[in-house]
A and B are shown apart, each in its own frame.
Chain A
Amino acid sequence: MASLRTVGLVKTYGNVYALRDVSLDVAEGELVAVLGPSGSGKSTFVRAVAGFVKVDSGAIHLGDRDVTRVPPEKRNTAMVFQNYALWPHMTVAQNIAYGLRIRRWTEDAIRRKVAWALELVDLVGLENRLPSQLSGGQQQRVALARALVVDPDVLLLDEPLSNLDAKIRYRIRFEIKKLQKQLKLTTIYITHDQEEALSIADKVAILDRGQLLQYGAPQEVYARPANAFVAEFIGASTVVRVPVRRDAQGSFIDLGGARIPAPAKAEGEEAMVIFRADEMELEPEQGAGAGGTGAGATSAGVPGAAGTAAAGVDVPAAAGAATPDAGGTDGPGGDGTGFYVFRGTVVESMYLGARVRYEVRVGDQATFFVDSQRAIPPGQPVSLRIDREKLYVF
């Protein structure tokens, strides 16, 4: 078992950057999920660590060894391939024992280690089967066992679950995590499924077009995405582009009447407002208030029922990021820092089973996607509320 450190990995194919200065530090025994869409370079990354891709520049360190120029057969990494790559002419036992035979273990030792591995992945009794006689899940476990027996410095999993049914996928991901923790294996886990990554990883690395966008614990990546791409990739489904304005107090954007602090940009340049559909609360408005159409902002504080603030008023925060407007109440926001409130009209809905996703028109600029468990008819004016921490502006 060893730590893994990559420094400034660069790989180009023609004019295309598959890896653009990727630097990553993985401590011994850590499971790092490398997350990204297809084409992001995550496969290239793991193949570079394994040695099948020769990087143009940068270094790869396994423990205290610099393995950048070492051929793949001498690196002592172990990879589980997306298609498992079980040799069809060898039995399960022969597949698993392959690495040990190369390392010239004695027959006895091999037999014992193979038995140990079979028990670990719960495949005892299937030693003499051929891969073609196994189910997809079983094949995957053989591939895993084959990698585990050689006690690699790093375990590399290239989208190990993408060829399995959804039900099995959910179960096996935790079995892999259990094994990893038990054997204290330094592991790189490639996936495009953000839920999978967040649920089992110690740290998550997000790649897009060869670049490392964020690297941190799952909670941090989820709650504090470093940029718009990460926010969108990890679950956000609403992206609204709003031009940035400046005044004496700084840059802000005007969304549905609310003043939302924005990163410093040139006047008129666009910022992206991003949030997750299940983090925005939805309440149908009780008839009264600004007419049937209910869209648009009225800056005058109109007292609504049940403590809902008027459209687009932002509520005072602990640290004065923006000036409080008149009116509005400090609702019980996530960590007490307050909410933003918006008013809008439901346009469409999509039934997702456990919840309904509503398309809500806010102001004349924005379409919000908001989840709710209630049934709300189209045309219904609604008020929306979101924790200030959960509204990301980039």
Chain B
Amino acid sequence: MESPTQVQPRAGIAGRRGIAVRLGLGDADYGGLLLVLPALLVLLLLYVTPLVLSIYRSFVTEWGELTTEFYRKAFDFYFEDMLYTVGITTVVLVCVFAVSVTIASYLRFVDWPLLNFLYRIPLFIPFLIVGHAMRVFLAPHGTMNLLLARVLGVEELPGLAFHWTGLVLSYVWKQFPFATLLTLGAFKSINDSYIEAAQNLGAGRVRVVFQVLLPMARPTVLVALVLTYVTTMGSLTIPLLVGPARPVMLPVDMAFRVTYFNDWGTANALGVVSYLLVIVVAYYYLRHLLKES
């Protein structure tokens, strides 16, 4: 192995550099890289390459010509769907935020095992199953309406399964547990004294949540929201099974463009649009992070 390129005392070296030196590997940075290389190669081949390809293919036809026709087509056909996608995702974000903050706040103050167990259940249910379950639950003649019809005595209830509300409900159902988990974890890591100091000065619990807990947990809450946003925007399984036929979420358009029309160019153009929608959010998130530090 390489010998240390610098002479350093054995004791008193801190951090990973020290660890490498102490393991007798000296300037072993590149040796370590060797261990990462296989995974990295797989990632480059299976992820980065198609990523680059998708951008390339959105600008270049099969015959190698540069063009904007795919983007024109994408916006022509699917502009309404783009707005719809952003709209639905925003509604989902608001709902997930509301539900997760409510549950996390309550559990921060009160120990309630039943709620603790209940809110985590959707974590264990795969996305695809959620789609199917919502289909049978929210259908016009689905189980929810069956029960409500009996309770409320109403004959014909609208079927949410093929309505945007059903779509939003499905996303929220699947995503709020993870956001709650993250938020509750951040709330719990805030020392009791910060909460008690506020209560001591007269703050009730609601005030404590909005003036102490949320501001202090902001980084984690933002991560939860960003992840919810990206997942919602990128899911194909749920909008395939739930929601109206028109308008529809962008991933469905992308998939159909490929499977029914063999139109890779436009599909990739839609893909790049979805990248941009995510990058815009990521940019604001990163800028916010950098501002804080």
Contact = CB atoms under 8 A, between A and B. Distances in A.
28 contacts: A50-B196, A50-B200, A52-B196, A52-B199, A71-B199, A72-B196, A72-B199, A72-B200, A73-B204, A78-B200, A79-B196, A81-B197, A83-B191, A83-B193, A85-B191, A85-B197, A87-B194, A87-B215, A87-B216, A89-B215, A89-B216, A98-B198, A98-B201, A99-B202, A102-B202, A102-B207, A146-B201, A150-B202
Given A52-B196, A79-B196, A102-B207, A87 B212 contact: yes
A81 B193 contact: yes
B196 A85 contact: yes
The 7 closest A-B pairs by CB, nearest first: A99-B201, A85-B197, A85-B193, A102-B202, A89-B215, A81-B193, A73-B199
Interface string B214-226: 0110100000000
B200 A73 contact: yes
Contacts of B200: 50, 72-73, 77-79
A73 B203 contact: yes
B191 A150 contact: no
Interface in B182-208: 191, 193-194, 196-204, 207
A87 to B, nearest CB: 6
Contacts of B198: 87, 98
A167 interface: no
Interface string A97-124: 0110011000000000000000000000
Contacts of A79: 196-197, 200
Contacts of B202: 73-74, 99, 102-103, 150
A102 B201 contact: yes
Contacts of A77: 200
A78 B201 contact: yes
A141 to B, nearest CB: 15
A88 interface: yes
Interface string A161-189: 00000000000000000000000000000
Interface of A: 50-52, 71-74, 77-79, 81-83, 85, 87-89, 98-99, 102-103, 146, 150
Given A79-B196, A99-B202, 4 more contacts: A78-B201, A89-B216, A98-B203, A150-B201
A252 to B, nearest CB: 52
A51 to B, nearest CB: 8
Interface residues of B, number: 17
A85 B204 CA distance: 17
A72 B199 CA distance: 6
Contacts of A99: 201-202
Contacts of B197: 79, 81, 85, 87, 146
Nearest to A102: B202
A248 B32 CA distance: 88
A72 B218 CA distance: 26
A51 B202 CA distance: 12
A373 to B, nearest CB: 41
A338 to B, nearest CB: 53
B98 to A, nearest CB: 22
Nearest to B208: A73
A98 B203 CA distance: 9
Contacts of B201: 73, 78, 98-99, 102, 146, 150
Nearest to A79: B200
A221 to B, nearest CB: 29
A103 B201 CA distance: 9
B194 A85 contact: yes
Interface string B59-70: 000000000000
Interface in B204-247: 204, 207, 212, 215-216, 218
Contacts of A102: 201-203, 207
Contacts of B191: 83, 85
A190 to B, nearest CB: 14
A82 B194 CA distance: 11
Contacts of A78: 200-201
Nearest to B195: A85
A71 B216 CA distance: 24
Interface in B88-117: none
A146 B215 CA distance: 19
Contacts of A103: 202
Nearest to A80: B197
| Most chain A CB atoms below 10 A, which of B202, B212, B216 | B202
A53 to B, nearest CB: 11
Nearest to A150: B201
Contacts of B194: 85, 87
Contacts of A85: 191, 193-194, 196-197
| Most chain A CB atoms below 10 A, which of B193, B197, B215 | B197
A4 B193 CA distance: 23
Nearest to B205: A73
A135 to B, nearest CB: 19
| Most chain A CB atoms below 10 A, which of B200, B202, B215, B218 | B200
Nearest to B216: A89
A70 to B, nearest CB: 12
Nearest to B197: A85
A88 B194 CA distance: 10
B216 A88 contact: yes
A78 B196 CA distance: 11
Nearest to B207: A102
Nearest to A71: B199
| Most chain B CB atoms below 10 A, which of A72, A73, A74, A82 | A73
A154 to B, nearest CB: 11
Nearest to A149: B201
Nearest to B192: A52
